[in-house]
């Protein structure tokens, strides 16, 4: 009997309605860990070249990690993944809450869904048993309603759910998967994969957490962390994400009006402090977590906003706030609630609306196209109306819900000039023109622009730099630099981010890198090292890269959109922007550091060193398609 | 005040007779650790292209590591290095004993000797003070005599010495440096560097070991290891090296008659068991070491052999024994003693004699050239006579003492067919035709064929494989394989070997990889990780590679000599040999794993990731000189 995990994968085929349990050997768990690692492994092996992400040939994976569901802060997460409807390549997103831990307690380490059902279905999993159920009466329901009905049907008010809303059903490429009503796996459009399989959701209930190899040691680790968090509560515990937006606005780091402008005077009206003062009614948390950073807001007027849908994270405050030029916090809270209610990514939806606003102001989108909505920057009501159209695929929303990239392609080259995405994934609320390594990460992340795979240069001080000593980085490095030393730091920090996604544990919990090792050894009884774990991250990145190459991406797609190479119109970054030659050089160095060739293709020796020589068969033929500056 | 090290480098210029203390910053110690890392760093930075290893432009480095001299088993070693008189490239060798620990206790972490004196000199270092002394009366003395006279002159019978013998003075390219009379830094011909500088030796005395960051933790680690060694004494403690020669002979792993033959029936007459039964009078040890693996032999007849020169290691038993076809253990013990007495490498001297024996039997070396010595395989007396000529540079010895490569070049292509060396460094007593990854290592090691930088495939079982889990190697691999998985294992194991040379701690002490981390943290108070330490090894290898490229070596020199591609004439390996295509593929994979290009040149991204971008200036222009199969 293994420690920490169950040894069981639930494989569901919705085409022929079969369920099957697979039992990977222990070394599989140690090699891929779960989470993002499991997504990369299965996606490369099981989805052939040329599959449409919205066809039955795609797979949908839900994967906590080997130590998920053990009693320590940050262990409640899981990854979801498949070929991304948004990018067409490696698709993956992560959510917290309770669902991931519950799946582990229910006897499974991951679920792989194949095929597609003709009629709506859902899955019910309880203590080692799983069944496919009819979702005809759930189809079309908003997320919370759906959870209510499922729990009613099950007679179990504590069943945990991972659901899609109407946006996923409507195959919005921005659709997300929602755990426990307000913990969201937002990026990559994975909700549309569920929608395409007509899988409304997965409810789980488990009473048997996997055994721990060293419960005393884990208790000590978890207790010390909890004590530290209690005694020195960070801004996250007090405010949740988004307390420092005013500072961001002053340094140009708060994306404003579709990343066009550099100043947003009303930042302090929409930040987490304002949320706390005006609308917050509580702070939620995730399984076993001492940090408790999840805002819950409640409004009756001017909009009714239900507290059970949580509250806006920093990304949401930025995407529907400054990036749309909107300073109406109530409208932002409502936009957030609509996104959870309908199951659409707040970042993708907010930034696509911001993009549409710029198109509207530039005359590329006309009032005729919007159905009369005056879609100017700052018009909160227009923003909410447009969002409603997107989640329902009505009017202009039918186009916008395809995401920024497809909208821009439809609108033509004039619009593409300010379409802010990488590989089709819209930008999160962090500014590559300030944070140069972050920009490098947006260009390089396998899911496109993704702040979960990234380094935040502005935070590379104090403890963050001290942690890098684990990798031999001993000297501080200038914020503005995108030289070799910054690339080196980016490599290590991003690998640790990828690692947390493989472990499916939370970045917001202040675990040290070495404590990842200790947690893993305490839970599983292994004798792993930081070296081995960094290799898991490199392995995952190599597999994800090969998936993207197979999907048709080339080195030219590891790049930033045009707007990043021109300054903001005002503020601190009005005279500086990303320098193409510098970015090209940094990417070249990164490829070399990763053991990838100048086309970004992992070298054979790299695959062997990572123990994934089996992936050689999926390597693309040599190509010369690379952006040269 | 740092823990574990002194923060002081003693720099000696023998040309102008100056002494100076340098104080590298803490990050220097953490980046290079000392030992082999320090050698690589200083050699690349300080010795320009084109310097003759035997000219004053070369430097001579003596370097323990940051944790050397702390009280734990294996901490008594130090590296010596410089541009190798034998290979012309990166030269480095390591020795145990007490000298390295004593230097640390005397207040210095390393000594760098520049220039050359006109008259013989020696160095005396005591508790932070150093002086250059006149060695006119010591020049020409055998090693033990020299130590006696130094101690007499100092009035300190406990001064520790690192000395050259007459071979070093005579600039034999096989000359070594001898610590404490019988602990030998044998390879790379570094004794000749001392000779060329007219530096007879360095005596040290120290009473102040650097402070320990966590003495309790170190005591616990050291105590546990000592207990383990006491309770489960390995063959090393009981016999020293070389107990399993008979098994080696049966698998073809005991080099016999210049690596020509595969059977040596008399193996059990010359192994460590025979030594113990016939001539052993004691077992010596090194500073603070519980293993105590150093044989001491004493003979009165047929040869007088002094016990204070120690006894033959496995390498010596093989080089003067089976490799010369000699089964006369007394003669081998005498050969060993002569080597220590005169300061010449037993491996290089023994194998060069074996090579000469084959040349003699082939008629390439004539009785005229040997001065009548009947230099046939198996003629023990002829072997000893030839060795005497080599150490004194007389007759045929004047040529042979230049090493196998130069001798073969002089004798012509017929002889070069069976000259068994890589980059000019003769083979140690391990068989690449059996151990394929070892052969890979002989081809790739920066010092040429060197068993201290290597993996011993035959030992890749049980605990050795378990240790590799630290790097994510989870599956066993076939002995005969030289595929990607073996290359991966080679990479990791050889890096850990290089690491022990940087730390200057002993491979024979059964520390686990993770315990290297614990030792380092306990001694220095750092928070290092196995990841950081593996990077130190990669850094050292990259620097050493660049030194070799600068010295004129190309990828074509990372290769094995012709004999390795044909089977042995008899025994277990009479139908198998290294396959050139397999070796070529393995080397290509290794280059890729290391972030080196197909010419074996470290890529720019690799230098940045290793934090040694400063080394870029030393990279050679692109070259196409590579051995293609």
pLDDT at B218 over 80: yes
Q: Please, what's the largest Cα pairwise distance for chain B?
A: 66
Of the pLDDT bands very low, low, confident and very high (cuts 50, 70, 90), residue A423 is very high
State residue A629's pLDDT score: 54
State residue B347's pLDDT score: 98
pLDDT at B446 over 60: yes
pLDDT at B27 over 90: yes
Instruction: Determine contact: A524 vs chain B, CB below 8 A.
Output: no
Question: Pairing state of beta strands B121-126 and B199-205?
Answer: parallel
Instruction: Determine contact: A527 vs chain B, CB below 8 A.
Output: yes
Q: What percent of chain B has pLDDT over 90?
A: 95
Instruction: Determine contact: A155 vs chain B, CB below 8 A.
Output: no
Domains and CATH numbers, chain A: 9-205 (3.60.9.10), 233-426 (1.10.569.10), 436-623 (1.10.599.10)
Instruction: Determine contact: A489 vs chain B, CB below 8 A.
Output: no
Nearest CA in chain B to A609: B488
The answer to whether the Cβ–Cβ distance between A590 and B606 falls below 8 Å is no
ipTM of the complex: 0.94
State residue B454's pLDDT score: 86
Q: Nearest Cα to A405, choosing from A441, A352, A450?
A: A352
Instruction: Determine contact: B485 vs chain A, CB below 8 A.
Output: yes
Calpha distance B330→B327 (Å, rounded): 9
Calpha distance B65→B80 (Å, rounded): 11
Q: Which DSSP category does B344 fall into?
A: B
Mean pLDDT, rounded, for B442-469: 91
A27, A474, A605: residue with CB nearest B592: A605
Rg of chain A on CA atoms, in Å: 22
Å between B602 CA and nearest CA of chain A: 10
pLDDT at B183 over 90: yes
Nearest CA in chain B to A531: B531
Q: Which H or E run includes A97?
A: none
Calpha distance B176→B262 (Å, rounded): 30
pLDDT at B128 over 80: yes
State residue A1's pLDDT score: 76
Query: Which tops the pLDDT comparison, B453 or B520?
Result: B520
Mean pLDDT, rounded, for A379-406: 97
Of the pLDDT bands very low, low, confident and very high (cuts 50, 70, 90), residue B226 is very high
Nearest CA in chain A to B469: A528
Calpha distance A613→A604 (Å, rounded): 7
Q: What is the 3-state secondary structure (H, E, C) of A178-244?
A: EECCCEEECHHHHHHHHHHCCEEEEEEECCCCCCCCCHHHHHHHHHHHHHHHHHCCCHHHHHCCCCC
Edge-to-edge strands, sheet with A199-205: A129-134, A121-126, A199-205, A160-163, A177-179, A183-185
State residue A283's pLDDT score: 97
Calpha distance A67→A505 (Å, rounded): 8
3-state secondary structure of A43: helix
User: What phi and psi values does residue A135 have, to the nearest 5 degrees?
Assistant: -110, 20
Calpha distance A54→A402 (Å, rounded): 13
User: What are the structure tokens assigned to A296, written together?
Assistant: 């819950």
Q: Which H or E run includes A12?
A: strand A9-13
pLDDT at B623 over 80: no
The answer to whether the Cβ–Cβ distance between A527 and B469 falls below 8 Å is yes
Mutate to test the interface with B, among A592, A594, A602 (most CBs of B within 10 A): A592
Mean pLDDT, rounded, for B254-272: 97
Instruction: Determine contact: A301 vs chain B, CB below 8 A.
Output: no
State residue B455's pLDDT score: 86
pTM reported for the whole predicted model: 0.96
Question: Pairing state of beta strands A129-134 and A160-163?
Answer: unpaired
The answer to whether the Cβ–Cβ distance between B608 and A487 falls below 8 Å is yes
pLDDT at A207 over 60: yes
Calpha distance A411→A364 (Å, rounded): 7
Q: What angle do CA A381, A386, A392 make, to 5 degrees?
A: 130
User: What phi and psi values does residue A131 have, to the nearest 5 degrees?
Assistant: -145, 150
Hunting for tokens 């294996």 — which residue is that? B74
pLDDT at A625 over 90: no
Q: What percent of chain A has pLDDT over 90?
A: 95
Instruction: Determine contact: A476 vs chain B, CB below 8 A.
Output: no
pLDDT at A626 over 80: no
Å between A50 CA and nearest CA of chain B: 30
Report whether B22 contacts B11 (CB < 8 A): yes
pLDDT at B628 over 70: no
Of the pLDDT bands very low, low, confident and very high (cuts 50, 70, 90), residue B481 is confident
State residue A623's pLDDT score: 54
Q: How is B174-210 classified by DSSP, letter by letter?
A: TB-EEETTTEEE-GGGHHHHHHHTTEEEEEEE---PP
B603-618 pLDDT, tens digit each: 999 999 999 999 999 9
Instruction: Determine contact: B491 vs chain A, CB below 8 A.
Output: yes
Question: Pairing state of beta strands B177-179 and B90-95?
Answer: unpaired
Q: Nearest Cα to A336, choosing from A383, A370, A300?
A: A383
pLDDT at A628 over 90: no
A320-341 pLDDT, tens digit each: 999 999 999 999 999 999 999 9
The answer to whether the Cβ–Cβ distance between B608 and A484 falls below 8 Å is yes
Instruction: Determine contact: A530 vs chain B, CB below 8 A.
Output: yes
State residue B179's pLDDT score: 98
Mean pLDDT, rounded, for B335-351: 98
Mean pLDDT, rounded, for B483-505: 96
Of the pLDDT bands very low, low, confident and very high (cuts 50, 70, 90), residue A289 is very high
State residue A253's pLDDT score: 95
Instruction: Determine contact: B579 vs chain A, CB below 8 A.
Output: no
Calpha distance A578→B490 (Å, rounded): 41
Å between A530 CA and nearest CA of chain B: 6
Question: Pairing state of beta strands B280-284 and B199-205?
Answer: unpaired
Q: Nearest Cα to B584, choosing from B427, B418, B451, B440?
A: B440
Hunting for tokens 């030839």 — which residue is that? B386
3-state secondary structure of B213: coil
pLDDT at A151 over 90: yes
pLDDT at B478 over 80: no
3-state secondary structure of A158: coil
Report whether B181 contacts B162 (CB < 8 A): no
Give me the residues paired with residue B20 across strands.
B11
A92-103 pLDDT, tens digit each: 999 999 999 999
Mean pLDDT, rounded, for B380-399: 97
State residue A125's pLDDT score: 98
Nearest CA in chain A to B603: A592
What angle do the packed helices A530-550 and B530-550 form, to 10 degrees? 70
Calpha distance A329→A268 (Å, rounded): 10
State residue B477's pLDDT score: 83
B567-594 pLDDT, tens digit each: 999 999 999 999 999 999 999 999 999 9
A252-270 pLDDT, tens digit each: 999 999 999 999 999 999 9
Judge residue A576's burial from the number of C-beta atoms within 10 Å of its C-beta, 0-12 exposed, 13-18 middle, 19 or more buried.
middle
State residue A622's pLDDT score: 66
Instruction: Determine contact: A528 vs chain B, CB below 8 A.
Output: yes
State residue A519's pLDDT score: 98
A484, A485, A532: residue with CB nearest B472: A532
Q: Which H or E run includes A534?
A: helix A530-550
State residue A461's pLDDT score: 86
Of the pLDDT bands very low, low, confident and very high (cuts 50, 70, 90), residue A620 is confident
State residue B622's pLDDT score: 65
């Amino acid at each position: 009997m293994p420690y920490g995990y169950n040894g069981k994968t639930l494989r569901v085929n919705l085409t022929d309605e079969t369920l099957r349990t697979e039992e990977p050997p222990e070394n599989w768990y140690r090699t891929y860990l779960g989470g993002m690692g499991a997504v990369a492994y299965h996606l490369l092996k099981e989805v052939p070249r040329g599959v449409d992400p919205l066809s039955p040939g795609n797979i949908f994976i839900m994967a906590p990690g080997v130590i998920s569901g053990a009693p320590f802060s940050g262990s409640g997460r899981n990854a979801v993944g498949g070929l991304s409807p948004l990018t067409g390549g490696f698709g993956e997103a992560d959510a917290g809450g309770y669902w991931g831990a519950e799946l582990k307690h229910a006897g499974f380490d991951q679920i792989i869904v194949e095929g597609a059902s003709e009629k709506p279905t859902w899955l019910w999993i309880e203590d080692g048993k799983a069944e496919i159920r009819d979702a005809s009466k759930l189809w079309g329901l908003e997320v919370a309603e759906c959870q209510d009905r499922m729990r009613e049907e099950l007679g179990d008010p504590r069943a945990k759910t991972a659901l899609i809303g109407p946006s996923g059903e409507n195959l919005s490429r921005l659709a997300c998967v929602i755990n426990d009503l307000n913990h969201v796996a937002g990026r990559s459009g994975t909700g549309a994969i569920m929608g395409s399989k007509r899988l409304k959701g997965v409810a789980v209930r488990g009473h048997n957490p996997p055994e721990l190899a060293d419960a005393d040691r884990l208790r000590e680790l978890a207790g010390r962390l909890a004590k530290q968090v209690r005694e020195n509560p960070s801004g996250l515990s007090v405010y949740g994400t988004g307390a420092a937006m005013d500072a961001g606005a002053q340094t140009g780091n708060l994306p404003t009006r579709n990343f066009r402008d550099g100043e947003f005077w009303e930042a302090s009206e929409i930040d987490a402090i304002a949320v706390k003062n005006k609308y917050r009614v509580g702070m939620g948390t995730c399984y076993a977590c001492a940090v408790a950073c999840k805002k819950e807001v409640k409004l009756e007027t001017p909009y009714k906003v239900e507290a059970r849908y949580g509250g806006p994270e920093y990304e949401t405050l930025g995407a529907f706030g400054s990036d749309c030029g909107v300073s109406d916090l109530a409208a932002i809270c409502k936009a957030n609630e609509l996104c959870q209610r309908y199951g659409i990514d707040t970042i993708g939806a907010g930034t696509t609306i911001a993009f549409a606003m710029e198109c509207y102001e530039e005359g590329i989108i006309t009032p005729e196209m919007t159905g009369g909505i005056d879609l100017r920057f700052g018009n909160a009501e227009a923003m909410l109306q447009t969002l409603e159209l997107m989640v329902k695929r009505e009017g202009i929303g039918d186009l916008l819900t395809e995401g920024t990239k497809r909208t821009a392609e439809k609108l033509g080259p004039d619009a593409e000039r300010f379409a802010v995405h990488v590989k089709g994934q819209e930008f999160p609320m962090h500014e590559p023109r300030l944070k140069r390594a972050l920009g490098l990460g947006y260009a390089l992340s396998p899911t496109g622009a993704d702040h979960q795979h990234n380094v935040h240069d502005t935070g590379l001080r104090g403890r963050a730099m001290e942690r890098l000593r684990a990798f031999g980085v001993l000297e501080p490095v200038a914020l503005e630099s995108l030289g070799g030393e910054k690339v080196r730091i980016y490599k290590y920090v991003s690998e640790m981010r990828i690692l947390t996604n493989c472990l499916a544990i939370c970045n917001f919990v202040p675990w040290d890198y070495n404590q990842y090792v200790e947690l893993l050894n305490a839970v599983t009884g292994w004798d792993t090292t930081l070296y081995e774990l960094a290799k898991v991250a490199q392995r995952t990145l190599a597999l994800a890269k090969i998936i993207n190459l197979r999907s048709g991406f080339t080195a030219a797609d590891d790049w930033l959109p045009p707007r990043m190479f021109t300054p903001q119109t005002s503020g601190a970054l009005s005279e500086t922007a990303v320098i193409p030659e510098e970015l090209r050089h940094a990417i070249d160095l990164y490829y070399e550091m990763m053991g990838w060739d100048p086309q970004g293709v992992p070298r054979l020796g790299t695959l062997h060193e990572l123990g994934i020589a089996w992936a050689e068969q999926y390597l693309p033929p040599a190509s010369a398609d690379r952006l040269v500056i």
